[in-house]
């Protein structure tokens, strides 16, 4: 029997309270499954303006929380407590008007990081640790996520080393290594851990304090959100300068895929689509396709392949690759549907295309969950040309909906999609390797060819795809394994595997 742990998950976003990306899905959903495995798990996040205390039934924890902020002196904050909806998992909210009482999480309205992000998240990281003391909750594991809470493993090894809290093992999950929390060196005085830690083997990187680097080097174990990405971030192409640091800790790095929320993304029960369908009866999918074509003003044709795209329109997602290939794609007898927001140029570029090619492409610039569901259900193929993709969720949804993913073979996309093998008639989608427009074009061409000329293969691929499952139960068990190893390692008991 595995021991049951006290676990604190620390993050700067979590569904349903605040979300900018996949990180929020992990931190909002994983605790529920860890709880089901019998652990005492709790979550702590900032109380941003948008988190409605009344709606979520939050109650104030009595007494202010003092947080030592180095040269800034002691700062104080409030703490609120609730339960993650439909679970028994306690969630704490750190309330500090000046740091978190604003609309966006990390950036101003122009997309620039807030000027005081260094102090905001140093404060939050320290507040998480002070909160444990206030609650008399001494975790076996403190799980930090991305650069915003990467100071926690550093603090556990320095300020809190000789404290009861310092016994906690730390896990740092990297959801996206591009964002590292790199700041002016004066942050050392706010962290208050001593300037001796500002060296190239700890926090210093290019004469700045790099919180993610410090976190990687100080955490007991590190995880990232796919095996593929765990390997990729050891190379210069993907690590944004931290490849050496990651490589140094490669023996302590684990890839764990995020789970897919099948209660929300299931064609059998999806409430946003015109007709539900299943592996055994795909007739509803055809109705979803017609509905989708109508919704986007495209000719309603059963015989033509429809390609869907739902994405943040940013370079990471390969939106530049797609834009370069777009007008060649219109030569194919296929339709394209795009939903997304992101870089301003892309709104004009893609948003303008339907005017010139009304039979070929439908576009909605914006964020719209209902349309995202309709696209997953009504498309035949789903395009993800990402330059890098730590895990990716949309391809998992697509598989479940029998909408064959056409993906660049990177990170989580490469791990979750099996390439079509024409001889063996195996696979769940179509892959390309070069992050280049011609590779994308050729692979979409391959899928169009298959659609028109190889119906048995299409049938087989759809059946294979719809049987794939990436469950949170499975992911939570893998996190449990890593926690177990981390606790043993923190106790200096090394297990030979
Ligand atoms: P990332 O977290 O990097 O943006 P993921 O594929 O992991 O990428 O997750 C993206 C999530 O956001 C998916 O659930 C996807 O459906 C959703 N999404 C992205 N853009 C939009 C949009 N414009 N409208 C609706 N949902 C969107």
pLDDT tens column, 91-102? 999 999 999 999
- Token pair 């993650």: residue: 84
- Whether residue 269 lies inside any domain: the answer is no
**Are residue 433 and residue 484 in the same domain, yes or no?**
no
Same domain, 190 and 301: no
User: How many domains does the chain fold into?
Assistant: 2
Confidence class for position 495, pLDDT limits 50, 70, 90: very low
Instruction: Please work out whether the CB of residue 392 comes within 6 Å of at least one atom of ligand 1.
Output: yes
Which residues 6+ apart lie within 8 Å of 204 measured at CB? Answer: 185, 198, 210
CATH code for the domain in which residue 296 is found: 3.40.50.2000
**Does residue 272 sit within a domain?**
no
Rounded Cα distance between 222 and 143, Å, is: 10
If phi > 0 it is left, if psi is from -120 to 50 it is alpha, else beta; for residue 290 that is: alpha
What pLDDT is stored for residue 443 in this prediction?
A: 98
Q: Within this chain, do residues 377 and 357 fall inside the same structural domain, yes or no?
A: yes
Is position 271 within any domain?
Answer: no
All residues at 6 or more sequence positions from 366 whose CB lies less than 8 Å from its CB, including other chains: 339, 341
* Residue 442 CA: distances (Å) to CA of 46, 125, 360, 430, 439: 46, 47, 18, 11, 5
Residues 164 and 292 in one domain: no
Average pLDDT, the chain: 96
Dist CA 237 CA 223 (whole Å): 19
pLDDT at 494 over 70: no
The answer to whether 140 touches 168, Cβ cutoff 8 Å, is: yes
Q: Which atom of ligand 1 is nearest to the CA of 23?
A: 2
240 alpha-carbon distance from chain centroid: 18
User: Is residue 351 assigned to a domain?
Assistant: yes
- Do residue 376 and residue 439 come from a single domain? yes
Burial of 334 (0-12, 13-18, 19+ CB in 10 A): buried
Place of tokens 């900032």: 46
Q: Using an 8 Å Cβ cutoff, are 180 and 172 in contact?
A: no
Mark whether 454 and 325 lie in a shared domain: yes
Q: What is the DSSP string of 137-161?
A: ---SEEEEETGGGTHHHHHHHTTTT
Strand ordering across the sheet containing 40-46: 59-68, 74-83, 90-95, 40-46, 6-10, 141-145, 169-174, 221-224, 253-255
CA–CA dist 34, 42 (Å, integer): 10
372: helix, coil or strand? helix
**What does the pLDDT look like over 160-203, one tens digit per residue?**
999 999 999 999 999 999 999 999 999 999 999 999 999 999 99
Cα(281)–Cα(449) distance, integer angstroms: 24
pTM of the model: 0.94
Grade residue 496 by pLDDT with cuts at 50, 70 and 90: very low
For residue 244, the CA-to-ligand 1 centroid distance in Å is 30
pLDDT tens, position by position, 376-392: 999 999 999 999 999 99
Reported as a single tens digit per residue, the pLDDT across 251-299 is 999 999 999 989 899 999 999 999 999 999 999 999 999 999 999 999 9
What beta strand segments (E) does 259-301 contain?
none
Q: Residue 275 falls within a domain, yes or no? A: no
Q: Does 367 contact ligand 1 (Cβ within 6 A)?
A: yes
Tell me how far apart the alpha carbons of residues 382 and 365 are, in angstroms, rounded to a whole number. 17
pLDDT recorded at residue 253 = 98
* Out of 69-78, 174-183, 409-418, 483-492, least confident range: 483-492
Given a cut of 90, whether residue 42 has pLDDT beyond it is yes
Q: Is residue 299, in this structure, part of any structural domain at all?
A: yes
Are 298 and 438 contained in the same domain? yes
82 lies in some domain: yes
Alpha-carbon distance values, 195 to 156, 157, 188, 190, 224 (Å):
16, 14, 6, 11, 29
Taking only the tens place, the pLDDT of each residue in 8-29 is: 999 999 999 999 888 998 999 9
pLDDT in tens, 332-348: 999 999 999 999 999 99
- Residue 194 tokens, joined: 């001593």
For 455, counting Cβ atoms within 10 Å of its Cβ (0-12 exposed, 13-18 middle, 19+ buried), the class is exposed
Residue 177 structural domain: 6-259+473-496
CA 315 to ligand 1 center in whole angstroms: 14
Beta-sheet strands, E only, within 262-360: 306-313, 335-342
Q: From the CA of 343, how far away is ligand 1's center (Å)?
A: 15
In a domain, 337, yes or no: yes
**For residue 28, what are its two tokens?**
């909002």
Give percent of the chain with pLDDT exceeding 70: 99
Ligand 1 center to residue 191 CA distance, Å?
34
Same domain, 42 and 155: yes
Nearest to 143 by CA among 20, 307, 30: 30
Identify whether residues 89 and 128 lie together within a single domain.
yes
Closest CA to 216 of 239, 185, 187, 195: 239
90 and 227 co-located in one domain:
yes
Whether residue 394 has its Cβ less than 6 Å from ligand 1: yes
Could you tell me the pLDDT band of residue 111, with boundaries at 50, 70 and 90?
Answer: confident
20 Cβ below 6 A of ligand 1: no
Alpha-carbon span 268 to 285, nearest angstrom:
10
Q: Three-state DSSP class for 76?
A: strand
Same domain, 89 and 104: yes
SS3 label, residue 278: strand
* pLDDT of 471 above 60: yes
Structure tokens at 26: 């992990």
Q: DSSP assignment, residue 193? A: S
231 and 291 together in one domain: no
> What pLDDT does residue 479 have?
98
**C-alpha 250 – ligand 1 centre gap (Å):** 29
pLDDT-derived band at 359, boundaries 50, 70, 90: very high
């Amino acid at each position: 029997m595995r021991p049951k742990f006290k676990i604190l998950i620390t993050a700067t976003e979590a569904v349903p309270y605040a979300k900018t990306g996949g990180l929020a899905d992990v931190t909002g959903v994983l605790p529920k499954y860890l709880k089901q495995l019998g652990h005492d798990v709790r979550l702590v996040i900032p109380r941003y303006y948008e988190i409605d205390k009344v709606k979520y039934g939050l109650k104030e924890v009595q007494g202010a929380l003092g947080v030592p902020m180095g040269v800034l002196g002691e700062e104080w904050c409030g703490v609120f407590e609730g339960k993650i909806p439909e679970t028994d998992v306690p969630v704490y909210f750190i309330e500090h008007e000046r740091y978190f009482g604003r609309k966006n999480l990390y950036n101003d309205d122009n997309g620039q990081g807030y000027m005081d992000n260094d102090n905001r998240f140093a404060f939050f990281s320290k507040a998480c640790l002070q909160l444990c003391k206030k609650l008399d909750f001494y975790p076996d594991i403190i799980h930090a996520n991305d650069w915003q809470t990467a100071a926690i493993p550093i603090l556990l090894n320095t300020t809190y080393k000789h404290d009861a809290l310092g016994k906690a093992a730390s896990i740092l999950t990297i959801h996206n290594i591009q964002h590292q929390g790199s700041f002016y060196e004066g942050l050392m005085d706010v962290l208050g851990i001593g300037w001796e830690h500002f060296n190239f083997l700890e926090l210093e990187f290019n004469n700045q304090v790099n919180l993610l680097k410090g976190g990687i080097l100080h955490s007991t174990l590190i995880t990232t959100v796919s095996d593929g990405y765990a390997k990729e971030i050891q190379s210069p192409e993907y690590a944004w300068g931290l490849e050496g640091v990651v490589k140094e800790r490669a023996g302590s790095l684990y890839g764990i895929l995020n789970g897919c929320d099948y209660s929300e993304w299931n064609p059998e029960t999806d409430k946003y689509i015109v007709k539900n369908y299943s592996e055994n009866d795909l007739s509803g999918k055809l109705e979803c396709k017609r509905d989708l074509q109508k919704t986007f003003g495209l000719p309603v044709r059963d015989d033509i392949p429809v390609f869907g795209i739902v994405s943040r329109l940013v370079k990471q997602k390969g939106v530049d690759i797609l834009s370069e290939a777009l007008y060649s794609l219109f030569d194919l007898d296929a339709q394209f549907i795009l939903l997304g927001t992101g870089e301003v140029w892309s709104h004009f570029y893609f948003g303008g295309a339907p005017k010139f090619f009304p039979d070929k492409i439908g576009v909605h610039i914006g964020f719209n969950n209902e349309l995202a569901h309709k696209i997953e259900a009504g498309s035949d193929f789903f395009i993800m040309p990402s330059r890098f993709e730590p895990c990716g969720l949309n391809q998992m949804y697509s598989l479940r909906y029998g909408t064959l993913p056409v993906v660049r073979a990177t990170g989580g996309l490469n791990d979750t999609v099996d390439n079509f093998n024409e001889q063996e008639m195996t696979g769940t989608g179509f892959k390309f390797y070069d992050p280049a427009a011609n590779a994308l074009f050729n692979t979409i061409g391959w899928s169009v060819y298959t659609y028109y000329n190889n119906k048995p293969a299409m049938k087989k691929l759809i059946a294979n795809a719809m049987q794939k499952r990436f469950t949170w139960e499975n992911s939570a068990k893998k996190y449990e394994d890593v926690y177990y190893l981390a606790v043993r390692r923190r106790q200096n008991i090394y297990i030979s595997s």
